[in-house]
Amino acid sequence: MQDGAVYSGVAIAVTVTLFADLRRLLPRGTDGPQRYTVREGATVSELLAAIGVEAGADVTVAVNGELAARDTPLREGAEVMVLSPMEGGAAGAATTSCPHRDLQIKKAFQDVVAPEIHELRGEIRRLDRPA
């Protein structure tokens, strides 16, 4: 729920940044990070549902800069980034027209995707070592 929602229990506020095609879920006329209010103890999955992300949607979520699973509980003031799978290549580069969006995607990649790739490379090296 966006700000203004009323709960009978304790509510917390989180800031959500949507990237790529998920930006279609932003409230009309808004841009950039949005503040959402959810019940205390709500999970990433509950937040995604409140935003309008389908339950089975393939998304990557980071909470406070760390990759998060759908069952990750949220805390007051959490910063949540939601990315959908990205496609690239020459065709993708030709359609890019918003420098601000490019910077957001680049930052998201640096903060979320690159550390995950680095961790996977380390795991592959560990598994490739002779026993």
Residue range 57-84, pLDDT digits in tens: 889 999 998 889 999 999 999 999 999 8
DSSP, res 71: T
Higher pLDDT, 106 or 10: 10
- Determine contact, residues 86/20, Cβ cutoff 8 Å: yes
Name the helix (H) or strand (E) containing 104: helix 99-108
Q: Residue 93 pLDDT > 70, yes or no? A: no
What residues pair up with 73 in beta bridges, in sequence order?
A: 43
Dihedral pair phi/psi, residue 23, rounded to 5°: -60, -15
Residue 95's identity, in one-letter code, is: T
Q: Residue 94 pLDDT > 60, yes or no? A: no
Contacts of 60 (CB under 8 A, 6+ apart): 67, 82, 83, 84, 85, 112, 113
* Residue range 21-51, pLDDT digits in tens: 888 988 888 888 999 999 999 999 999 999 9
The domain spans of the chain are 11-128
Half-sphere exposure of 93 (CA within 13 A, CB side): 2
Mean pLDDT of the 94-114 span: 58
CA distance 30 to 25: 10
* Domain 11-128, second-level architecture: Roll (3.10)
pTM of the model: 0.61
